[in-house]
Structure 1
Amino acid sequence: MSQSDTNVPPPALTDSGFKAPALSDILTGTIADLQAAFSGRLSFYDNSGNLETSRPQSQIAISEAAIINDVHAAFLALMAGVDPQTSSGVMQDAIGRIYFMERRAGTPTIVTGLCRGAQGTVIPSGTVVQDTAGQTYTAMSSGTIGADGTVSIEFSNTQNGPIPCPAWTLTRLYQIISGWDSITNPVAGSIGQNVEDRADFEARRQASVAANSIGQNASLMGALLELPGVTDAYVTDNPAQAPTVQQGVTIPAGAQYILVEGGNPQDIGQAILHKKPPGIPTVGTQIVTVQDTNPVYAGNQPSYSFRYDRPTPVAVHVVMEIAASDAVPSNAAQLIQQAIVAYLTTGANRIRLGRTVYASRLSAVVDGLGDWAEVLTLSIGTDGNAGQNRLTLPINQLPTVTADTISVQVVA
């Protein structure tokens, strides 16, 4: 059917995008088409000029308009899916595959458990423990209790997602092993992640462009962020001829500092090998040795040892007061805690290495919960007193936040 056969206004594909007519204009067109088909004998409106929706002909016009509008909406969604800035879901996955990227699955919270007991006691890989909230964790590797009666083992939550494990909460022995007396975690766990969302996927796609280069700090950082299991990374260097302090970390002269949260050491080593400029020393507490497998060496491949750091988890405390009123719900503290944790652990706003956290932005998050959430004071810090309006940790410290580190008081 040509446009002359219908009174429904057509969509347009312009230089600025797809332009669909308003639903009201589409409805006016479908009514005019039905009137034309029945020689103007149909009545759609009451005496006041309002559309009478109970009439069969009105229902037909409304349904046709809705169908046409739904088609336009689907095409608008398709157009949005082509643009990396607005793409989501399967369309964003398709764009990612152009860059040889796949959306990351969720990751579990990982916590270091300090196990105490008799010297020589072996705690096998897969051993199960629980925290005080009933969350279950399994040992990622085996460990043997040493002469000091302790051994540190990393435990992984059995579920993926941002499940908190605050310090001193991993205390329950789910399995009995002779010679093993107790477990605890002096440091909070490294929070896991949900399936990668739209904002994080797009940020990683943009970073992957830098990963295609070689010899720059951004090249290595982009490559590290692409590795399976890596949730954050930071790379900087000191071009000076003397040690310098950068964001709270002392870097030796002429050295490159590499910080990685998560990921397999061998994968990290290979990324450093392929992206780091030759001859520049690396610094850090972790050492990994990898072999250059380039076939040019014809079976005589050299090996290199690189250093890098793992960030130390540091709890971020939030202390706030809201105004009392009859509208404040009984679970106000829980709602506020959930909103702040979600804001700081997911999406484009999640706290990352070296990033500043602003109390004002958290206040806006709370205000968005409703008119009842009137923030009187809000401060942040690294202890229960908080007291700061912004917080920037050294780059080798990983900010973590849980409901237990958020204090909410209702003040009359």
Structure 2
Amino acid sequence: MAEYKYINSTGVIMPDTDNVIDEVRDEYRAVFGDDLITDDWTPQGVLINAEVKARTTVIENNAALANQINPNLAGGIFLDAIWMLTGGQRRGATRSQVVGICRGVAAAIIPAGSRARTKNGDEFATVEQVVIGELGTVSAIFQSTSVGPVPVPIDSLTQIIDAVLGWETVTNETVGSLGQNVQSDVSARSMRRKTLALQGVSTTEAITSAIYDVPGVKSLSFRENIAGEERVIDGVTMAPHSVYVCVDGGTDENIAQALLASKSAGCGYNGNTTVTVVDAVSGQPYDVKFSRPEEITILMRVYVSSRAMSTVQIQDAVRLAIVDYARGEQDGEDGFTVGTDVSPFEAASAVNRNYPDIFIKKLEIADISKMTFSVDTLPIEIWQKAVVAESTIQVNIV
């Protein structure tokens, strides 16, 4: 090959394999003569095919590497490096936690790291040392020994693994909080686009970037009243010179701190949640307000046909595809976010994107509080967020 001609000023060129084959065959004929037989069964044909495979592998490798420069296509450590240029960082894996009620002999010490097992076989360990009280009980925070979302239903943490003198039983009276896996490339690319102004302040993009950077925040809506009088904007009554943020996910304290640090000095707040934050520089306390979304449960009736799967497989596939879409787990889709309308068409497209063999004949949706099914888009206000679960999706095979 005289020159590598698959990169130019417009980017990387991905030629058809047939074109590469023709190119290599022409090179062989230029050396050995125009009457050279290049059929696959000939020795020279075998050599030509090997050269074509080597060249296409190099071309594909270079194209894949070039795509890592594009933050909308990059993945892994390449995406992490690009994201860090604007101050962002992929969210790491966390562990599930649950409050366990330990019973036994008073004054018995349960060391940190003492393990117990759920009925499903998942192991949890105490975060810190605890001492059983005079009444024979003590509450301890247990953390899963493996990262990710490990479910802990009520009364499921029951088996003690490590023998500790005086510790007799354990159980949990509340559901555990789920951990999370390492943020996927799909989620990381979406989050990077939402946090491009992390290093700024005061602007709309800077404020939303700061809040999106709070661990656990999934989506938000933002409005600003720049007038010197009270106004109603998109259904929200806002004080003069103030901002309104409705946030899904994250802790109240972290959101309040991010909002105080990123909004303009003297700007007021609105919302149904108030958190007192002390300014780290002045020591002055501020009552920071923002809102938590009202959840609107969505019912779906899906009418499908397919010959590629069994009835149960079709029903499971449709439900899983829609739930993944709603959670924003499909590449390029944000899913159900704060203030985003629910579209039956987009939900049906989410199924077809994952399962082309499943034909969606009709998809109807309804607000669970109204029970009126329709194929029309369901409007969601900026203080609301639609939610859907597998149990609220009815799949009918027709």
What's the TM-score once normalised by structure 2's chain length? 0.72
User: In 2 relative to 1, CA 86–276 (structure 1 residues): closer, same or farther, beyond 3 Å?
Assistant: same
User: In 2 relative to 1, CA 394–17 (structure 1 residues): closer, same or farther, beyond 3 Å?
Assistant: same
Report the counterpart of residue 91 of structure 1 in structure 2: 78
Whole-Å Cα distance in 1 between the matches of residues 233 and 95 of structure 2? 33
Aligned AA for 2:323? V
Q: Does the Cα contact within 8 Å between 1:109 and 1:156 map onto a contact in 2?
A: yes
Q: Matches of residues 140-289 of structure 1 in structure 2 within 5 Å?
A: 160=148, 171-175=154-158, 195-239=182-226, 241-242=229-230, 244=232, 246-247=234-235, 249-289=236-276
| SS of match in other structure, 1:212 | coil
Report the counterpart of residue 376 of structure 1 in structure 2: 362
Whole-Å Cα distance in 2 between the matches of residues 140 and 27 of structure 1? 62
| SS of match in other structure, 2:91 | coil
Whole-Å Cα distance in 2 between the matches of residues 395 and 310 of structure 1? 11
Aligned AA for 1:105? G
1:353 aligned onto 2:331: no
Aligned AA for 1:84? P
Aligned AA for 1:64? E
Report the counterpart of residue 25 of structure 1 in structure 2: 19
Whole-Å Cα distance in 2 between the matches of residues 104 and 304 of structure 1? 29
How many residues align structurally? 359
Whole-Å Cα distance in 1 between the matches of residues 388 and 29 of structure 2? 63
Equivalent in 308, 324, 327 of residue 290 of structure 2? 308
Whole-Å Cα distance in 2 between the matches of residues 128 and 233 of structure 1? 38
Aligned identity (percent) is: 21
Equivalent in 310, 313, 317 of residue 329 of structure 1? 310
| 1:225-252: CA deviation from partner (whole Å, max 9, x where unpaired) | 01223222333234453352635x4444
1:58 aligned onto 2:74: no
| 1:110-135: CA deviation from partner (whole Å, max 9, x where unpaired) | 99x9x9xxxxxxxxx9999989x999
User: In 2 relative to 1, CA 337–11 (structure 1 residues): closer, same or farther, beyond 3 Å?
Assistant: same
Q: Does the Cα contact within 8 Å between 1:319 and 1:384 map onto a contact in 2?
A: no
Q: Does the Cα contact within 8 Å between 2:239 and 2:269 map onto a contact in 1?
A: no
Aligned AA for 1:242? E
Whole-Å Cα distance in 2 between the matches of residues 403 and 104 of structure 1? 26
Q: Does the Cα contact within 8 Å between 1:366 and 1:375 map onto a contact in 2?
A: no
Q: Does the Cα contact within 8 Å between 2:230 and 2:237 map onto a contact in 1?
A: no
Range with greater deviation from structure 2 (169-178 or 16-25)? 169-178
User: In 2 relative to 1, CA 108–379 (structure 1 residues): closer, same or farther, beyond 3 Å?
Assistant: farther
Whole-Å Cα distance in 1 between the matches of residues 234 and 116 of structure 2? 40
| 1:64-98: CA deviation from partner (whole Å, max 9, x where unpaired) | 11111111111122222212333333322221121
Range with greater deviation from structure 2 (27-36 or 269-278)? 27-36
Aligned AA for 2:335? R
Structure 1: gaps of 5 or more residues: 4-8, 45-50, 116-124, 142-153, 295-299
Aligned AA for 1:160? G
Q: Does the Cα contact within 8 Å between 2:157 and 2:171 map onto a contact in 1?
A: no
| 1:133-164: CA deviation from partner (whole Å, max 9, x where unpaired) | 999999999xxxxxxxxxxxx99998636x9x
1:172 Cα shift?
A: 3.9
1:410 aligned onto 2:397: yes
User: In 2 relative to 1, CA 245–155 (structure 1 residues): closer, same or farther, beyond 3 Å?
Assistant: farther
Q: Does the Cα contact within 8 Å between 2:314 and 2:358 map onto a contact in 1?
A: no
| SS of match in other structure, 2:395 | strand
Report the counterpart of residue 81 of structure 1 in structure 2: 68
| SS of match in other structure, 2:191 | helix
| 1:150-185: CA deviation from partner (whole Å, max 9, x where unpaired) | xxxx99998636x9x9xxx95545349999996589
Report the counterpart of residue 147 of structure 1 in structure 2: none
1:358 Cα shift?
A: 0.3
Q: Does the Cα contact within 8 Å between 1:242 and 1:253 map onto a contact in 2?
A: yes
Report the counterpart of residue 387 of structure 2 in structure 1: 400
| SS of match in other structure, 1:209 | coil
Whole-Å Cα distance in 1 between the matches of residues 283 and 191 of structure 2? 32
Aligned AA for 1:362? A
Structure 2: gaps of 5 or more residues: 102-111, 129-140, 160-167
What's the TM-score once normalised by structure 1's chain length? 0.70
Whole-Å Cα distance in 1 between the matches of residues 79 and 284 of structure 2? 40
Whole-Å Cα distance in 1 between the matches of residues 317 and 188 of structure 2? 27
Q: Does the Cα contact within 8 Å between 1:242 and 1:252 map onto a contact in 2?
A: yes
Whole-Å Cα distance in 1 between the matches of residues 19 and 171 of structure 2? 75
Report the counterpart of residue 105 of structure 2 in structure 1: none
Whole-Å Cα distance in 2 between the matches of residues 384 and 109 of structure 1? 36
Report the counterpart of residue 363 of structure 1 in structure 2: 348
Aligned AA for 1:227? V
Whole-Å Cα distance in 1 between the matches of residues 126 and 299 of structure 2? 28
Whole-Å Cα distance in 2 between the matches of residues 128 and 406 of structure 1? 36
Range with greater deviation from structure 2 (173-182 or 265-274)? 173-182
Whole-Å Cα distance in 2 between the matches of residues 79 and 383 of structure 1? 50
Report the counterpart of residue 320 of structure 2 in structure 1: 338
Whole-Å Cα distance in 2 between the matches of residues 140 and 400 of structure 1? 33
Whole-Å Cα distance in 2 between the matches of residues 357 and 106 of structure 1? 30
1:194 Cα shift?
A: 5.4
Whole-Å Cα distance in 1 between the matches of residues 172 and 36 of structure 2? 86
Whole-Å Cα distance in 2 between the matches of residues 409 and 206 of structure 1? 38
Q: Does the Cα contact within 8 Å between 2:223 and 2:233 map onto a contact in 1?
A: no
Report the counterpart of residue 144 of structure 1 in structure 2: none
